[in-house]
A and B are shown apart, each in its own frame.
Chain A
């Protein structure tokens, strides 16, 4: 038994030295950057003065159901951008994913139920459906809301803001995003 185990370890180390593997996969979902800008400029997306963008990190899909009858029940699928790095060393494959999502600006007063999200659990992508009863997030004031569920696996606000900024270049929302980036960077000093 011990001899077999030692042979496997030796084979893994040899493979790691001879055949190291590294692969990066990028993915995107929802509107493209140019479509986002078009939506803002033609007024079909709300302005920062009276609306809220909810955003987050490390989910590979995210949907919310707007529950306040004042605005009508509506399902919103997040815009998504991310990349996944996999490193193969011998028989071992390490995967690290980073991603950003944001939901289009929604009016202040919206009440949101998280309908579904997809998470990486180990090497698997798992989709969770959360139901349609209740409210998880109330949008009470204009601006940005970072959704992290107080979970360290989903805390990466600064990186998400930087990716999100590229969708809003030259729009009123860019100023709001840049201000938040500066706030976080100042907090770190």
Chain B
């Protein structure tokens, strides 16, 4: 059990806060999706800390803080290592469009106290059409309402394009073109 926990913790090395100039222009046909996972009302994650700390005994987390709460798009894996953001902050998710020029985001995964097993699922269920020639694609703010058991009770998709443009310029250290993706929610 201990060996298993060490592996999972190592696999979720975080990008932590995005530093100015840290995001590179993607190469090849890859793009960077820019968006956000946020909550309508503050969620009381702190009251779970003592309970979940019991599960973390004897484990080592590398590159993540046990005091912070993160999220990943999809499942954490070696291939997405470093693509992890604090809950409520902007994501910069690199992805390769399918042959039809779309990218599908099915779920995001909230991870509490830097520990991969303390996860809860946030459905995204969106197919994004990537504009021709785009390198940075805006996909909006996915805002959830959660109940006391971290179940989704409400969802809104918000457009905060102007703020996102400023953030991507800061993150890349350049004035880059952020283009709106066309979003089709699957469910």
- Residues of A that sit less than 8 Å from B by CB: 61, 63, 65-69, 72-75, 111, 113, 115-116, 118, 127, 129, 131-135
Contacts and interface: CB of A to CB of B under 8 A. Distances in A.
B120 A131 contact: yes
Nearest to A131: B119
Contact of A132 (B1, B4, B50, B119): B119
Contact of B47 (A73, A111, A131, A132): A73
Nearest to A67: B149
Interface residues of B, number: 21
Contacts of B47: 69, 72-73
Given A73-B47, A75-B51, A115-B55, A133 B117 contact: no
Interface of B: 1, 4, 47-48, 50-52, 54-55, 110, 112, 116-121, 148-151
A63 to B, nearest CB: 7
A115 B54 CA distance: 12
B52 A132 contact: yes
A133 B120 contact: yes
A133 B149 contact: yes
A78 B54 CA distance: 14
B121 A67 contact: no
Given A73-B47, A127-B4, A134 B151 contact: yes
Contacts of A75: 51-52, 54-55
